[in-house]
Structures are given as structure tokens and as C-alpha cells.
Amino acid sequence: MRRLQERKQEDSGSRFQGFWRRLLAWVFGRKPSSQADGLPQEEEEELPRENPYLHKFLIILQQILERNHMSYREFCPLLVDTDMPPESLLDEDQVEVMLEQISEDLNFLRIVTDRPAYFTDYIQRMYEDSGLVVQICSKEEEVPADFNVILDMEHKGDCPLKCAREDMLYIPVYKRAWTAAESVDNLDISVPIGYNTVIVKGVL
């Protein structure tokens, strides 16, 4: 019986991992590393360092959550830190922009990062202001699956693959383009959610 349960857990983990490998392969437009066949890969398209819609992310997020029947109280994000931090102290850090957008009324936040010291002041401020204990994990750690939305701010890394479930919302900030959608008033944008896209109204 124990062996059967272990086999079921292995099969389940393999199925979820396979789903996310296919998703990330599709997002990147290339084969995941586990399926590399040794042939030279085509040069990847250079991704933008910034997302022009990030300053309005809260409006975008609220519509996404509503369409997925999730309240902000139920919103439990895993924020995957960027793998391309600002090159200069004068440059805006888009991770800070994201945190400014989502921080108010949060009940949960886990950040996966290779630069934990960078978030020290933010963690302290959140605890003092709201009592929220922001959790920090290394990108090399196994992350508990106690979140329901992945905010992926990496440009090229595969970090979400290690900690994802098939029923989670996956929002890639850079790996797929966010574009203006054709509409009557030209105020809508198309936002990628996993394999799909969602038209968000009245953003522009």
C-alpha cells in the first residue's frame, strides 16, 4: 500500500512538472532544457527590460482575479524576483513597482529571490504597517505550494517550474508580450495568463 501511494505521488508530481515544462517551452518558444537534443538552438528574441503596463498592474490584477472567481483576500501570490536587476541605481526597479501595486491589503506574500537583502526594508515596513510576515525563499529551495498565483518577473529563468501546480494562475510579466487590444475605445490590453490571454478593460 505504501509503495502504491509513493508511486501515485511520483506520477502526480511528474504530471504537474510535465505540464509546466510544456507551458514554459511554449512561453519561450523553445524546448525546455530537459528535452534539449544537443542541436544548436536558434537565437532567442531579446525580451524588453520593462513592462509599460506595470504601473497599472493593480487594475489589471483585480480584473484577472474577478474572472477567476478569486477575491483579493484569497489572493496568495508567489513573486519570482527578476533575473535582470537594474544596471544603475538611477534605474527604476520594476519589482518595486510590482510590490507597490499589490502590497495594500495583502494577506500573504512569498518572494523567491537570489538577493534577499534587497527586500529587508520592504519586509520590515510591511510588518510594521500591516502585520504581514513576508516570506523569502532562495530560487534553489523547494518552495511550499501554499500560493495560488505566480507573478513571474524573470526574463529567461525557469524558476516557476520548480514550485507550480496546474491549478495556479501564472502571470509572466516579461516572457510573453502584453499588448494593446483592438477595441472601440482603444483602452484595453491583452495580458497572458498561462497558455491563454485575457482582455483587460479600460487600462490605457
pLDDT of residue 14: 53
Q: Which three cell numbers stand for residue 101?
A: 501595486
Whether 126 maps to a domain, the answer reads yes
Whether 98 maps to a domain, the answer reads yes
pLDDT of residue 33: 45
Name the residue with cell 511554449.
Answer: 26
Whether 37 maps to a domain, the answer reads no
* pLDDT at position 125 over 80: yes
- What residues have CB less than 8 Å from 27, skipping those under 6 apart? 172, 175, 176, 192
Report the CATH number that the domain containing residue 59 is assigned in CATH: 3.40.50.720
Q: How many domains are contained in the chain?
A: 1
pLDDT of residue 40: 47
Q: Between 58 and 85, name the one with better pLDDT.
A: 58
Q: For the segment 107-122, what is each residue's pLDDT rounded down to a tens digit?
A: 999 999 999 999 999 9
pLDDT of residue 54: 93
pLDDT of residue 37: 46
Q: What is the DSSP string of 23-38?
A: HHHHHHTS--GGG--S
Dist. CA 90–CA 82, nearest whole Å: 17
Whether 56 maps to a domain, the answer reads yes
Residue 141: give the domain boundaries.
Answer: 49-85+92-200
Confidence of residue 4 (pLDDT cuts 50, 70, 90): very low
Whether 24 maps to a domain, the answer reads no
- What residues have CB less than 8 Å from 138, skipping those under 6 apart? 112, 113, 114, 116
Whether 171 maps to a domain, the answer reads yes
pLDDT of residue 87: 78
Whether 18 maps to a domain, the answer reads no
Task: Please state the pTM of the whole predicted model.
Answer: 0.78
**DSSP conformation class of 92:** -
Whether 41 maps to a domain, the answer reads no
